[in-house]
């Protein structure tokens, strides 16, 4: 480090002298910094334009094609409008459909025959185990299976509430679960209608006694160890049919079981519980005479035979299909909501002989609104790019140096920099080519089923020359007429997919086989890729904070400038040190001469 002596002997302002000496030498460095600033401004402007291009292509154009906004359909309901409601999607087939509702679909459900008692649903499973619950865990995990789908619960984390939430969130289980905290009863209801049974598994659900039957009302007080079937029939508590030998047969889950009318109720229970094919456990409450039959595994319990008639067994509610007559054809649906020919149909009530008519047509208003929105967004992008490529360039206004900014007010700096930033994208080849291709894509004929169609066919043209290719609906009545007369042609004009296999012709803005949205999408993608290579802008992001690619041309130029700026700064620093060394030597010499002079004159 060089010690700086500032004019003690010479009386010179050495700092100012050095600064002025370096000022001329700083000109190349200032120019490099100005080039870097201008390049960074240019890159930012590329990103601003690229954001609009990416948004228009990846979001707006994509959604136009995906949602079928130019093929919107509407359905008008007449006749019995309360029995059926309907909504058409873009794929709905135009025409009429008649519907008569004979029967609504209901969902299957199973409910606990006996709950686990009052239970805190927020307690973890292991806190309830051995009390309200009695399940088996493996490694702290508890399996619950419904309709063949199994979820694993963590007994130290999960509660009955989280169990219910996880069951309801599992779309493959296809049920809605509910636990009543007061009774500890669990219900499972199928999310779809129809007679599909609900099957369950896992020791945790066994506690809730699902998939069984229980008496809604008993046969009265009985002594299960003493009362025989014959005694109970005589007293009117039972009603059954026996063969000539007094045998009574019935089916339990498809397994035939036979008892004798001289057997007691306990004998009956033992016969049921010991039958492996039945796979159930039966019990009778002696006080009320209520019978409970619980499945040993998963699923419902099926019982046939008149022996159990007076026990009034109830349990799983088996759903039913909806029965409808569509265009004269009787058919069934598992749900009250289904789709037919692109129309989402909801059955609300039974028709009671009154037919509902659905008439599907093109939604002209919605299609026109969609085309207007497309034109607005197309014009907005075109205007943004046109403004940039035609913006005036003020070459005398370079980016300001820090010294120049120090001498100016904020307003003056802003006015200057507005001029300096203007025209940085003027006549950019990527953007001007994109604009030309967008205009070609919009105005060139598209062949649909052998017929050449263009925007003018729909009353849409380009505006005056000074609007630089903007689209204008000159005749809305003509557009509406085209939609109503041939909605498929209008849809294909915008969304038709090319069958061209040649890679170059496929993405051409004048490919006659390609719909307008796809033409524009290809044109924009080409420009977006070119900008990515040139400026390092993103092909997908619309964030102003997205990082620039380091491999782009501008990024490489900026790195080169950074190297040059570093070297120029280093050279100036070394030159500054040299100047100060020279002035320090001068001051030292002058100080020495002054000391010698003082010594000489002082001796006289």
Q: Check residues 519 and 595 and name the one with the higher pLDDT.
A: 519
pLDDT at residue 9 tops 60: no
- The whole-number pLDDT of residue 146 equals 82
- The whole-number pLDDT of residue 393 equals 95
- The whole-number pLDDT of residue 228 equals 95
Helices in 67-194 by DSSP H: which ranges? 125-128, 160-169
Residues 6+ apart with CB under 8 A from 186: 111, 112, 115, 177, 178, 179, 205, 208, 210
pLDDT at residue 2 tops 60: no
Q: Are 186 and 112 in contact (CB under 8 A)?
A: yes
Q: Are 331 and 351 in contact (CB under 8 A)?
A: no
- First and final CA of the chain: distance in angstroms? 41
Best-predicted range by mean pLDDT among 280-294, 320-334, 424-438? Answer: 424-438
d(CA 57, CA 177): 44
Q: Check residues 109 and 364 and name the one with the higher pLDDT.
A: 364
What value does the mean pLDDT take over residues 39-49? 97
- The whole-number pLDDT of residue 316 equals 63
- The whole-number pLDDT of residue 199 equals 63
- The whole-number pLDDT of residue 467 equals 76
Give residue limits of the domains in the chain: 26-68+366-390+426-535, 73-105+321-362, 107-206, 213-315
pLDDT at residue 103 tops 50: yes
Q: Angle formed by the axes of helices 487-495 and 364-389, to 10°?
A: 30
Q: Check residues 164 and 214 and name the one with the higher pLDDT.
A: 164
Q: Hey, do 107-206 and 213-315 end up sharing a CATH topology, with the first three levels equal?
A: yes
Q: Residue 52's pLDDT band (boundaries 50, 70, 90)? A: very high
302-348: per-residue pLDDT in tens? 677 766 676 666 666 667 889 999 999 999 998 899 999 999 999 99
pLDDT at residue 223 tops 60: yes
- The whole-number pLDDT of residue 371 equals 95
Maximum Cα–Cα distance for the chain, whole Å?
Answer: 164
Beta partners for 451? 448
72-92: per-residue pLDDT in tens? 889 999 999 999 999 998 788
- The whole-number pLDDT of residue 421 equals 96
When mean pLDDT is compared across 6-20, 115-129, 347-361, 375-389, the lowest value belongs to 6-20
- Average per-residue pLDDT in the chain? 88
What value does the mean pLDDT take over residues 524-530? 97
What value does the mean pLDDT take over residues 168-193? 88
How many residues would you count in the chain? 604
Q: Residue 7's pLDDT band (boundaries 50, 70, 90)? A: low
- The whole-number pLDDT of residue 120 equals 94
Domain 213-315 fold is Alpha-Beta Plaits (3.30.70)
Q: Residue 1's pLDDT band (boundaries 50, 70, 90)? A: very low
- The whole-number pLDDT of residue 298 equals 47
138-180: per-residue pLDDT in tens? 999 998 888 778 899 999 999 999 999 999 999 998 889 899 9
Q: Check residues 315 and 457 and name the one with the higher pLDDT.
A: 457
Q: Angle formed by the axes of helices 553-603 and 14-54, to 10°?
A: 170
What value does the mean pLDDT take over residues 512-522? 96
- Written out in words, the top-level CATH class of the domain with range 107-206 is alpha beta
Phi, psi of 103 (to 5 degrees): -155, 135
537-549: per-residue pLDDT in tens? 999 999 999 999 9
570-590: per-residue pLDDT in tens? 988 888 888 888 887 887 777
- The whole-number pLDDT of residue 336 equals 92
């Amino acid at each position: 480090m060089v010690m700086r002596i500032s004019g003690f002997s010479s009386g010179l302002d050495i700092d100012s002298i050095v600064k002025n000496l370096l000022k001329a030498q700083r000109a190349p460095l200032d120019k490099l910094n100005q080039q870097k600033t201008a390049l960074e401004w240019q890159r930012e402007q590329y990103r601003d334009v690229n954001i609009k291009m990416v948004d228009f292509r990846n979001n707006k154009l994509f959604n136009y094609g995906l949602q079928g906004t130019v093929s919107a359909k509407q359905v008008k309901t007449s006749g019995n409008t309360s029995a059926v409601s309907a909504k058409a999607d873009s794929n709905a087939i135009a025409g009429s459909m008649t519907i008569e509702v004979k029967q609504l679909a209901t969902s299957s459900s199973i409910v606990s025959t006996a709950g686990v008692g009052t239970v805190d649903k927020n307690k973890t499973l292991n806190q309830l185990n051995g009390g309200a619950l009695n399940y088996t865990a493996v490694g702290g995990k508890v399996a619950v299976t419904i309709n063949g789908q199994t979820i694993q619960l963590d007994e130290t984390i999960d509660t009955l509430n989280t169990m219910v939430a996880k069951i309801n969130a599992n779309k493959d289980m296809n049920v809605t679960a509910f636990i009543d905290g007061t009774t500890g009863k669990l219900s499972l209801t199928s999310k779809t209608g129809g007679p599909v049974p609900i099957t369950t598994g896992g020791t945790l659900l066994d506690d809730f006694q699902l998939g069984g039957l229980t008496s809604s009302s008993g046969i009265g007080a009985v002594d299960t160890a003493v009362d025989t079937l014959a005694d109970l029939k005589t007293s009117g508590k039972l009603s059954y049919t026996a063969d000539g030998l007094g045998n009574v047969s019935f089916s339990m889950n498809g397994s035939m079981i036979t008892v004798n009318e001289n057997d007691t109720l306990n004998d009956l229970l033992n016969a049921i519980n010991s039958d492996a094919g039945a796979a159930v456990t039966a019990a009778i409450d002696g006080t009320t005479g209520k019978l409970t039959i619980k499945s040993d595994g998963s699923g419902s319990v099926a019982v046939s035979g008149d022996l159990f008639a007076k026990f009034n067994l109830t349990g799983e509610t088996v759903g039913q299909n909806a029965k409808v007559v569509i265009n004269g054809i009787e058919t069934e649906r598992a749900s009250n909501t289904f789709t037919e020919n692109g129309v989402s149909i909801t059955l609300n009530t039974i028709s009671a002989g009154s037919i509902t008519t659905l008439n599907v047509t093109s939604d002209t208003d919605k299609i026109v609104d969609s085309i207007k929105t497309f034109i607005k967004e197309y014009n907005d992008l075109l205007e943004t790019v046109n403004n940039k490529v035609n913006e005036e360039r003020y070459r005398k206004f370079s980016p300001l140096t820090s010294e120049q900014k120090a001498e100016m007010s904020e307003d003056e700096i802003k006015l200057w920099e507005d001029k300096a930033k203007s025209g940085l994208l003027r006549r950019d080849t990527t953007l001007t080519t994109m604009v030309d291709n967008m205009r070609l894509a919009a105005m060139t004929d598209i062949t649909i089923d052998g017929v050449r169609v263009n925007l003018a066919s729909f009353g849409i043209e380009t505006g005056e020359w000074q609007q630089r290719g903007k689209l204008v609906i000159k005749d809305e009545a003509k557009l509406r007429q085209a939609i109503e007369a041939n909605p498929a042609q209008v849809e294909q004009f915008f969304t038709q997919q090319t069958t061209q296999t040649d890679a170059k012709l496929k993405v051409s803005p004048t490919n006659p086989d390609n719909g307008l949205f796809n033409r524009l999408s290809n044109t924009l993608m080409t420009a977006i890729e070119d900008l990515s290579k040139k400026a390092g802008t993103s092909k997908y992001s619309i964030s102003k904070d997205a990082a620039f690619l380091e491999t782009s041309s501008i990024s490489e130029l900026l790195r080169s400038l950074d190297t040059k700026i570093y070297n120029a700064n280093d050279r100036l620093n070394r030159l500054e040190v040299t100047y100060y060394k020279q002035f320090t030597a001068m001051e030292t010499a002058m100080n020495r001469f002054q000391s010698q002079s003082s010594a000489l004159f002082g001796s006289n």
